[in-house]
Amino acid sequence: MSVWEYIVDLFVNVRTDWIEWLQGFNLASSLIILLDSLIGIILMLIFVFPIVIIFIWLERRFIAWMQLRPGPNRCGPFGLLQPIADAIKTLIKELIMPAKGDKLVHWLAPVVLFFSGLMLFAVIPIGKGHLGALADLNIGILYIVAIGSLSVTAIFMAGWSSNNKYALLGAMRAVAQLVSYEVPMVLSIVGVVLIVGSLQMSEIVGQQSYPFILVQPLGCFIYFIGAMAELNRSPMDQIEAESELTTGYFTEYSGMKFATFFLGEYISTLAIATIVTTLFLGGWKGPFLPVWFWFVFKVFAVFLVILWMRATLIRVRIDQIMAFSWKFLLPMALINIFITAAEVLIWDKWMSGWESFPWPFIFVNWAIAVVLILLWSKIFFKLGGGRVEVGEVRPGYSQGYGADLQAPVS
């Protein structure tokens, strides 16, 4: 094996050598698995943090560039050391605990959020075959869905334990929003699972002879929007809503507890970017260059799109955001499942000669996606999810909300 070939699939090759070296000691196979996992977890921690730090730096510089300002540029070259300076600053700050808050839950919330984000990386493949992922579970996607929804608990814990009205409002919004977006998000993945016929992440990447965004445009679109809502990123940052709730559920957090929340959110962002890359953008696959390069490149591309949206769009109101999930994304996700299932049937019955999912479906699916989005947005406004028509005041929202309104201020 030449040096280049070794570098191309670096992660898998190093891991293979490491396991072979361990087997040389005649250890029990369970011990080998344990040692392998331990090293994997440590490596993951070592590699996730630098990427998160680059993420934070990139976010600040990229948004600054979009907003015609220089951004951080004092610490190190191009301000690269700014996240480290921030980390030191938050470390030496006082930890404030609300007097009537729930101490244990208040401490636990950032930890839960942090690890629920970190655990997602376990099943993400960064190289060929089974050894590409730290733990290539045969229920990989199910694992992602299960672990991904843990963050709701953390956010509600934070909001409840803070004993603060802003935090409580933020937490209430969080529960409503995150639970609603979980549904279309999970359903949008089903299309991919139907095509691949497996829940295993390595299998999903292995079958993408072209990125699945081409055959699953609708699924990718729904998953991406759902992910934005899960991450509380603008335009779906109802939960934090700086101009309304100061910072929502972590209003009462300071010092390292705040930093843990902050890091946890960025780790979740990184995780979502890797999941989008794996499911819809072909994972580590790419021509000529090393596979890890393609993986990191795609992850950063997804992250930049998230940043772009954050810098451009305006926050949606809470009832609009809920309506968007239930009246727009959910029906679209169901229709997407139906169409994909029909196509998989056709592939099985009449096009069984095709090795991968037949490419003619790309055009069909894109056409369906465009027409559906255009049509459904019209229906969506009829259903009351969009703007209020001028002159018409809807019941329940109107100036005459109820008889109580006429009561004098006490």
Instruction: Give the binding site for other proteins (CB under 8 A).
Output: 63, 66-69, 165-166, 169, 234-235, 237-238, 241-246, 310-320, 386-393, 397-401, 404-405, 409
Q: Give the span between the Cα atoms of 241 and 233, in whole angstroms.
A: 10
Contact 155, 178 (CB under 8 A): yes
Give least dist CB 93 to other proteins, A.
19
Q: Give the span between the Cα atoms of 32 and 24, in whole angstroms.
A: 11
Among residues 121 and 166, whose Cβ is nearest to other proteins?
166
Among residues 94 and 404, whose Cβ is nearest to other proteins?
404
Give least dist CB 159 to other proteins, A.
14
Among residues 130 and 165, whose Cβ is nearest to other proteins?
165
Give least dist CB 79 to other proteins, A.
18
Minimal CA–CA distance to 173: which of 382, 13, 374, 322? Answer: 322
Minimal CA–CA distance to 126: which of 117, 118, 136? Answer: 136
Give least dist CB 23 to other proteins, A.
52
Q: Give the span between the Cα atoms of 357 and 216, in whole angstroms.
A: 11
Contact 283, 295 (CB under 8 A): yes
Among residues 92 and 407, whose Cβ is nearest to other proteins?
407
Give least dist CB 344 to other proteins, A.
34
Among residues 140 and 385, whose Cβ is nearest to other proteins?
385
Among residues 33 and 318, whose Cβ is nearest to other proteins?
318
Among residues 24 and 400, whose Cβ is nearest to other proteins?
400
Give least dist CB 105 to other proteins, A.
21
C-alpha count within 13 angstroms, C-beta hemisphere, residue 36: 26
Among residues 66 and 111, whose Cβ is nearest to other proteins?
66
Give least dist CB 241 to other proteins, A.
7
Among residues 114 and 380, whose Cβ is nearest to other proteins?
380
Output the 3-class SS for the chain.
CCHHHHHHCHHHHHHHHHHHHHHCCCCCHHHHHHHHHHHHHHHHHHHHHHHHHHHHHHHHHHHHHHCCCCCCCCCCHHHCCHHHHHHHHHHCCCCCCCCCCCHHHHHHHHHHHHHHHHHHHHHCCCCCCHHHCCCCCCCHHHHHHHHHCHHHHHHHHHHHHCCCHHHHHHHHHHHHHHHHHHHHHHHHHHHHHHHHCCCCHHHHHHCCCCCCCCCCHHHHHHHHHHHHHHCCCCCCCCCCCHHHHCCHHHCCCCHHHHHHHHHHHHHHHHHHHHHHHHHHCCCCCCCCCCHHHHHHHHHHHHHHHHHHHHHHCCCCCHHHHHHHHHHHHHHHHHHHHHHHHHHHHHHHHCCCCCCCCCCHHHHHHHHHHHHHHHHHHHHHHHCCCCCCCCCCCCCCCCCCCCHHHHCCCC
Q: Which tokens belong to 49? A: 């943090």
Give least dist CB 165 to other proteins, A.
5
Among residues 72 and 140, whose Cβ is nearest to other proteins?
72
Give least dist CB 343 to other proteins, A.
31
Give least dist CB 313 to other proteins, A.
6
Among residues 183 and 316, whose Cβ is nearest to other proteins?
316
Give least dist CB 50 to other proteins, A.
25
